[in-house]
Amino acid sequence: MTLQTKNMSGALTSTIIKFKPLSLLPSVGNLVFLGIFLELTCLGNTHSLLGDTDTGYHIRVGELILATHSIPSYDVFSFHSPPLSWTAHEWLSEVIMALVHRVSGLTGIVVFFALIIALTYYLLFSSLRANHKNILLIVFLVS
């Protein structure tokens, strides 16, 4: 295939583009990412990502942070008198969860965190692949 373009002086230049049939196939890293993402969302037990009973709590705290524009300093959902001090060390993830939940509900939470987990495995695979050549060992370690 030949592609004709104009250079900066306005003259036409021709560039030959060669397509390699293998360049259209996904790489092993892409397959690892896709496999883990599909396992977490469709093929496996999708309730495993919601197995943490604090998911609703994190969403509600995130909504509270978005509504008040401040991070709570005590547990507002417990009825202790006097209120116990509390450190919201997960405040950023709670805000992200509240925003994702606002847009797409619990399904969005599952898909979002499955994407984050699969991306983490993909980055681990890519990092190992850059330093080592034994692809079977790398796939075994990452899977």
**For residues 31-60, average pLDDT:** 77
Q: Which residue has the tokens 């049939």?
A: 21
Report which of 34, 28, 40, 39 is spatially closest to residue 112, judged by C-alpha positions: 40
Q: How confident is the model at residue 126 (pLDDT cuts 50, 70, 90)?
A: confident
pTM (two decimals): 0.67
137 against 18, higher pLDDT: 137
Q: Which residues of 86-112 are buried (b: 16+ CB within 10 A; e: fewer)?
A: eebeebeebbbbbbbbeeeeeeebbbb
25-43 pLDDT tens trace: 777 777 777 887 787 777 7
pLDDT at 24: 66
